[in-house]
A and B are shown apart, each in its own frame.
Chain A
Amino acid sequence: MNGIIKKNKDKSSEIIMPASHEPESSRSLRLESTGAVFENSRSDNHFYRIRCEGITKVYPGVVANDQVSLAIQPGEIHALLGENGAGKSTLMKILYGVTQPDSGHIWFDGQPQPLKSPAHARRLGIGMVFQHFSLFETLTVVENIALSMDKREAGSLKDLARRIEEISSHYGMPIDPHRHVHSLSTGERQRVEIIRCLVQDISLLILDEPTSVLTPQEVSSLFATLRKLAAEGCSLLFISHKLQEVKALCDRATVLRHGKIAGTCDPKTTSTEDMASMMVGSQTTLGQRYSFSSNKVEDKRLAVQGLTEAALGDFGTALQDIHFSVKPGEILGIAGVAGNGQKELIQLLSGERLATSPDFITLDDQAIGKLTPGKRRRLGMAVVPEERLGRGAVPDMSLSENGLLTGFLQNLVSRGFLRQRRIHGFANDVISNFRVKAHGNLADAKSLSGGNLQKFIIGREILQNPKLLICASPTWGVDVGAANLIHQSLIDLRDKGTAIVVLSEDLDELFQVSDRIGALCHGKLSPVKPVTETSINEVGQWMAGVFTNPESEASEQAYALPRGVEPEMEQNIQEKEFTP
């Protein structure tokens, strides 16, 4: 047992009840209304590490949390499930003292505790790992950790570094305390975040979508760490929208929908379909595979040959010898954890950054590597960038103006003068064809929700009838309804003969829409295989960099499955089989 965790267990006098000792009845699926679940909870308050009741938080124009209640026992891994915008982040910020609820009560270790600030929460023993890391890139690991502690607590940097090493080896999270954060990978940064919580006395660790930035292999090692923590009595609140992971890790789950509790359940015994329907409120089909490309032509619409580019700046990724091609009427999926060269690849394909050789990229056999974005658009290329506000759309401009942003080739400009009527017409077409919810074409882009803005941006590009569409993270942060519409319109566009490249971190999505798939890791592209001939597990390996760099697409068959697939991995993530 580790001394750090033990200390705080001594502090609280309660009995630690590992989750497995829970009576079986409480672990069954419960779909009762909020009140009913916690009806008798007041009497056994002291059994809960944290309990909140009736939490309500209203932001201008939206009720983020509406009478939300939640309770977590010591040593329990509790999942907080919900779609983007369901109110998970707000609840978690309230539980960490970042924001204060408009009404509601919180008990910690049985004591009523208004969580006034993150510092207050930390004093009580609550740790938090945000989705967006709060790390300072120009400082070292140990300096980062020292800054989040009281001066007295932190002691000298030397002692702290030693403690960090202890914790990192105890929990299987190797890290060098003296490295600068900007030199760490995403997975390593997350470890720093977790260690930062663990150097303090914590009894509750909140993790906000911790797996969204990890490869499947990294996920399994994170889960091992979390299980060890829970076994030592630390409670965990695991926020996610990935049902498979929740099933693999968590003891109980609370589902939020539109800011309200949609139900609680035991994820181990509840089917993913039931949990999904709690999340989205209807039997929306999740993860349905779309039709495959029917195109048998062998021409190459887009060909990338030997694309090699140096990293820009200290935070960039170098691209190394990337080869791939896309046929008309085909969707190529490129998987990978962000920061492995996706941004660079998109910018090089779109022309925002020019390639060092024009021949690296060809569109219909024309070398375009050195053409500007405008010239590439004239040749029929369209691009959906990853950042919606602040690249794909100008936040402070109307939808009409944002339509003009890339639609200027659709006869919207004549001799340098704007054709207002056509500009408004184009925006209205996008809005109606893609069911964008907005107050007309004069609404500012920033007034739209993420999903609606994404529909607008994708619609704007699709309505230009491109020959080639480059599309980054098409459904990131988008609700299921909008995601289905976006996927369907990509498929429809493909069936009209457009070549499409989709870059995404979401493997499920890529397996739903792609015809062929590859993965980027450290700026190298894995082999590209038809979706029917690979598995999520194999692509996961590619994302972790386990592949032999193919000379060309022709040698794909020579690729052999690497050894050492972690057994836990296969347990956790259900393998998906696709048979045409």
Chain B
Amino acid sequence: MSALVELTNVSKRYADAPALHSTNLSIEQGQTTVLIGPSGCGKSTLLRLIIRLVEPDSGTINFDGVPITPDNIEKLRRRIGYVIQEGGLFPHLTARANVLLMARHLRKANKEIESRLTELCVLTRFPQDALARYPVELSGGQRQRVSLMRALMLSPELLLLDEPLGALDPLVRASLQKDLKEIFTRLQQTALLVTHDLAEAAYLGNKIVLMNEGRIVQRGSIADLREKPANDFVSEFINAQRTLALT
């Protein structure tokens, strides 16, 4: 297994406090890596550093063996899909136009674009006839499916998902979790997912990375975290989630 993304001594400070202390992390090819932790632990920052929505203060991030720099980031972003909580769909464009925006911008062949769109609708279980709708006319779950299609349109090597299911009601959430897992498996998609829900992390992730206060506390499988917690915080975090799940 080789690493698609490699973070070496990456750190980030915001004006008042450090968001991420010097951190090393590799994201393996074909794996789903899940970043989990309480709010403000730095998991979103880490993800945003990879796609350079946030500039790192120090360290390097390699993508496919090449250091990411401000010069090559635009091209690299086209090899990365990005999905956020509320979908981040462009309100003035239909679902279809949202999905096709980048492919059209890069002047891909029409035929290619159309067949990819049909494929994605099937993959994400999105009704073709709803493609003409605008984001406000779609349900929350449908918006996330469109957002996912948009992220997958150019067949990215890496998919970044920042709490993609965070704003959905439990039933929609469960069905989307299932679909996501299927998609990841079918595409053998390398993915990095941020969530604060341990069950979701356990269900979707091959590798779980637990963070707290800007640091990675432990990485491994859910079993590792449960059975060999690295410190009190890990057991506390896992127990808290378990209690929550029972009530």
A and B form one complex = no
